[in-house]
Amino acid sequence: GQNIDQPTEMTATEGAIVQINCTYQTSGFNGLFWYQQHAGEAPTFLSYNVLDGLEEKGRFSSFLSRSKGYSYLLLKELQMKDSASYLCAAESNSNYQLIWGAGTKLIIKP
């Protein structure tokens, strides 16, 4: 079957670092997307990993391990504006459609 798991909610402190994990099981896998969604808004693209390893983009980094079916999104120097839901999505290599996780709601406290 196809399944994406990520924590429902996480809390972190402004200025700190937080890691949001995502595990996936798909019938065929091509790559892994992370999206950010602020309350009441549409999701916006953050990152895409197709190779194993860490990809850094400013304060945000994303990691992928294809053999373990595992990814994480690392957010550094947290700011209040980072409070949002973070959606993990696995891209199928059969039809290139995305299988979406339910999202992790990240709450940043001062």
3-state secondary structure 29-88: CCEEEEEEECCCCCCEEEEEECCCEEEEECCEEEEEECCCCEEEEEECCCCHHHCEEEEE
Quickly tell me which residue has 């053999």 as its tokens: 67
Tokens of 36: 């950010």
Task: Give the number of residues in contact with another protein, rule: CB under 8 A.
Answer: 23
CB of 15 to another protein, least distance (A): 27
Question: Is residue 69 close enough to count as binding another protein by CB under 8 A?
Answer: no
Least distance from C-beta 17 to another protein, angstroms?
25
What is the number of residues in the chain? 110
Residue selected from 100, 106, 108, 110 as contacting another protein according to rule CB under 8 A:
100
Residue from the set 12, 26, 78, 91 that interacts with another protein by CB under 8 A: 91
- Per CB under 8 A, residues contacting another protein are 30-31, 33, 41-45, 48, 50, 87, 89, 91, 93, 95-98, 100-103, 105
